[in-house]
Chains A and B, each alone.
Chain A
Amino acid sequence: QVQLVQSGAEVKKPGASVKVSCEASGYSFTGQFMHWVRLAPGQGPEWMGIISGGDGKTTYAQKFQGRVTMTRDTSTSTVYMELRSLRSEDTAIYYCAKDQFGSYNMDVWGQGTTVTVSS
């Protein structure tokens, strides 16, 4: 079955960077896209961007452009999300979610990675 396994929790200081990984299995990695979504305490989800598992092309939400980079490694079926210049407002649970081909939605989600930004 489709499974997305994310890396463990991170604690970072303001100004630092964080890189979260998401290893996919159970489907054709290069044939699908992957979203990144974050959920901050007391807020609704925020869509951060999407990456193609095939050619690695990305689209980032305007809010995160210049601060986020999404990459993928086809040899390990893993996608990465790096967020730079962290501030306290970036404290959230970060999720990868597989795009459901042709349906423009997120059909399978990773377990989430908690990122805490604190001095």
Chain B
Amino acid sequence: QSALTQPPSASGSPGQSVTISCAGTRSDIGAYNYVSWFQQHPGKAPQLLIYEVSQRPSGVPDRFSASKSGNTASLTVSGLQAEDEADFYCSSYAGSNNWVFGGGTKLTVL
């Protein structure tokens, strides 16, 4: 059982937008602006998509955006493309040099 709660699945048609939630507590997401999102394609290592709640590393398309409200973070993928189909994981710093992850959301592009 993961510390952060994500929906197990999400889906959308090409061109649509989809939002994935990540629920934590006031000890992790609610306490720090250090929420990250990772994308993992089958057989590959996870890749950093978003850091510090809403920052995109260079090379990540601006179709990926994220935010936080209270103890919940959200990732939005706009203009869905076939290559966006993957597993998405959220993570948060939880204090005292500890981190927590979500259980993951499988995104299907219909």
Contacts and interface: CB of A to CB of B under 8 A. Distances in A.
B101 A47 contact: yes
A109 B96 contact: no
Interface stretch (B10-18, B44-52, B64-72): B44-52
Interface in A65-105: 95, 97, 100, 103-105
Nearest to B40: A39
Contacts of B46: 37, 39, 45, 95, 97, 106, 109
A63 B55 CA distance: 30
B24 interface: no
A35 B91 CA distance: 13
Contacts of B104: 43-45
Contacts, number: 68
A43 B52 CA distance: 24
Contacts of A46: 101
Contact of A103 (B6, B34, B47, B100): B34
Given A43-B103, A50-B97, A107 B48 contact: yes
Given A45-B104, A103-B34, A104-B32, A109 B45 contact: yes
Contacts of B89: 44-45
A52 B51 CA distance: 20
A103 B45 contact: no
B87 to A, nearest CB: 9
A23 B94 CA distance: 27
| Most B CB within 10 A of own CB, among A35, A46, A104, A106 | A104
Given A50-B97, A109-B47, A103 B52 contact: yes
Contacts of A112: 45
Question: 4 tightest CB-CB pairs across the interface, nearest first?
Answer: A44-B103, A104-B34, A59-B97, A105-B36
9 contacts: A43-B104, A44-B102, A47-B98, A95-B46, A103-B52, A103-B55, A104-B93, A106-B48, A106-B91
Interface of A: 35, 37, 39, 43-47, 50, 59, 61, 95, 97, 100, 103-112
